[in-house]
Amino acid sequence: MGKKDEVSKQFLDALEFRGIKRRDFLKYCGATAALIGLSELYGPKIAAALEKAAKRQPVIWLNFASDSGCTESFIKATYPSPAEVILDILSVDYNETIQAAAGKQAEEILAASRKAGGYILIVEGGVPTKKGHGMIGNKEMLDVLKEMAGPAIAVIAIGSCATDGGVPAAKPNPSQIIGTGEALQRVGISKPLVNMDLCPVNPQYLVGVVVNFLLLGKIPDLDSQGRPKMFYGQTIHDNCERRAHFDAGRFVEKFGSQEEALGYCLYKMGCKGPMTYSACPKIQYNDRTSWCIKAGGPCIGCAERGWTDKFAGFYEPLPGVKIPGLGGVEAGADKLGAIAAVATAAGIAVHAVATAASGRTKGKDGGKK
């Protein structure tokens, strides 16, 4: 690492002033390097890149149909954390939930940003496509997205509402809510898009994507669903702290039982960890305090598309299937298969009786001719 990669004393002093020790900051940069798949030697480089991001990257943060849980997960830190410093590198010009401006003033900021262009567009929440079901300043949310996505350099959809509609798009989806990717396709805008499924999104994931952008000048590698591979490359099950109990066959059968107290595997309680791609077990929430499974709750699979419907019955291993021809009657796959097997056995019994009655077994030449 050359001299130019080092962080200036001034910058570190400024951090000290905010209550962040130099050592903590550099440790955090090293951890962030590991997070985005770089060697820890890149830590100082990240620190330098953060300092040298002289022109703060402008960000427009749009809130659509959601509960603003993702905003909450960012602003609820109780003390200034290194993550906040990194996020301070961004110049969040517009965020309805936390900005001071309102009404005409807010509209003016948005118009000015649109004219300037070159910002990262962060989308939180799904886009209602039914007329009048979601409007900001007398404009349909879909039109707002269309206006703002045009001059953006990249779009980051955070939280499962933004990626595919999430909770507000759950059946029967009265507002016909769609995700950002689909909405952009519908209005004919093609932009680099990063999907960050999770409900709410993990602040560390956004830090990783932002640092990746500042350091390498591009969005990270994405998987088949447009999610950063570095956070969505492995299943929760593969990294789960309770995985040993799974392999050993030690399962929680009932909440409130001895097995639960012992921290056994939650697979039989409907845990969707084996089907869900996310780095939750490694990164955890609230400054690595805890996460769903550590807290004793089975994973509900909120990092997967359509989890509200496809993983419905959060304490059931698999959702029910609509039986064809019976209009809305649902049954589990096990029941469906058992019914088919019993029906087959009954059919065989009837056929066997008919065969005996027909006298076929008594003939000498058999059925062939």
Partner 1 sequence: MKEELVKDWSLGYILDHWIRVVAIAVLVFTGIYIHTPFIAGGPDSTIMASMRFFHFVAAYTVVLGLVVRVYMAFKSTFDADWKDFSIIENLKNVPDVLAYYLFIKGSHKDYRKYNPLQAFAYLFTGIVIIFTAFTGAAIYHGRPFLIFPMESFRWVNNLLGGESYTRIWHILAMWYFIVFLLIHVYLAITVSMINKDRTLTSIFTGYKLKKH
- The residues binding partner 1 (CB under 8 A) are 223-225, 235, 238, 246-251, 267-268, 272, 274-275, 304-306, 310-311, 317-319, 321, 333-334, 336-338, 340-341, 344-345, 348, 351-352, 354-355, 358, 360-361, 363-369
Closest distance to partner 1 from the beta carbon of 36 (Å): 19
Instruction: For residues 37 and 175, give the distance between their C-alpha atoms in angstroms, rounded to a whole number.
Output: 39
Closest distance to partner 1 from the beta carbon of 214 (Å): 28
Nearer to partner 1, 10 or 365 (CB): 365
Nearer to partner 1, 73 or 235 (CB): 235
Strand partners, 139: 136
Q: Given the structure tokens 């649109």, which residue do they identify?
A: 114
Q: Residue 34 in 3-state DSSP?
A: helix
Nearer to partner 1, 134 or 228 (CB): 228
Closest distance to partner 1 from the beta carbon of 343 (Å): 9
Closest distance to partner 1 from the beta carbon of 330 (Å): 12
Nearer to partner 1, 111 or 341 (CB): 341
Nearer to partner 1, 256 or 363 (CB): 363
The secondary structure of residue 126, as a DSSP letter, is B
The secondary structure of residue 277, as a DSSP letter, is B
Closest distance to partner 1 from the beta carbon of 349 (Å): 9
Cα-only R_g, the chain? 27
Mutual angle of helices 22-35 and 43-52, in 10-degree steps: 110
Mutual angle of helices 22-35 and 9-17, in 10-degree steps: 100
Task: Provide the CB-side half-sphere exposure for 239 (13 A, CA).
Answer: 16
